[in-house]
Chain A
Amino acid sequence: ETGVTQTPRHLVMGMTNKKSLKCEQHLGHNAMYWYKQSAKKPLELMFVYSLEERVENNSVPSRFSPECPNSSHLFLHLHTLQPEDSALYLCASSQEASYNEQFFGPGTRLTVL
């Protein structure tokens, strides 16, 4: 099984919808990350979890709500998004929350209409 999986791979939602992105890692890591990748912009770190505790929240709007129920799973709950939130959302994991070798999932391509 691949190391980091993300579902769904593609998501189209309206501005009033509520949806969730899921990430699962099978590598035995204890740190997980959410990144946003927009066209022509650098990868933006959104959230970092270490041992299921949030350790970084980089000024992300409250319409994005992360959840880490255990060290293998990470969710990103979405509500009342804006069209500018359309992007590729990437999940990553690493052995420790020190940004050491991060293993990325394939991403969820999100389109907000």
Chain B
Amino acid sequence: QQPVQSPQAVILREGEDAVINCSSSKALYSVHWYRQKHGEAPVFLMILLKGGEQKGHDKISASFNEKKQQSSLYLTASQLSYSGTYFCGTLSGNQFYFGTGTSLTVIP
């Protein structure tokens, strides 16, 4: 069962913040976040394991609420380079699914 992401698309001005949500109907072991720029391969951002930890690097961080089977990706002070499609991936049992994707566009 694929996780659902929201919003489907968002447009930001440079410097603004954004939150992307990922929700699953199944109990999750881990949540994975990737970014794919147009015409390029997806690139790994981070993994969050069961335990509710929050991870981050630079101005991109994420949280994982295992009770709600949800994860959120936080982008602060967005830069033009943040534009792309963000995918969450969820691991439940031995089943791995990518989410529906969120298109993020940062404009000057």
By a beta-carbon cutoff of 8 Å, the part of chain A in contact with chain B is: 4, 35, 42-45, 56, 90, 98-107
Contact = CB atoms under 8 A, between A and B. Distances in A.
20 contacts: A42-B2, A42-B87, A42-B98, A42-B99, A42-B100, A43-B42, A43-B87, A43-B98, A45-B98, A56-B94, A90-B42, A98-B91, A99-B32, A99-B91, A100-B47, A102-B34, A102-B44, A103-B44, A104-B42, A104-B43
Contacts of B91: 98-99
B47 A101 contact: yes
B41 A105 contact: yes
A45 B44 CA distance: 16
B101 interface: yes
Nearest to B98: A43
Nearest to B91: A99
Q: Which 6 A-B pairs have the closest CB atoms?
A: A104-B41, A43-B98, A101-B44, A99-B96, A42-B98, A104-B42
B51 to A, nearest CB: 16
B89 interface: yes
Contacts of A43: 42, 87, 98
A35 B87 CA distance: 14
Interface string B9-37: 00000000000000000000010101000
Contacts of A98: 91
Contacts of B98: 35, 42-45
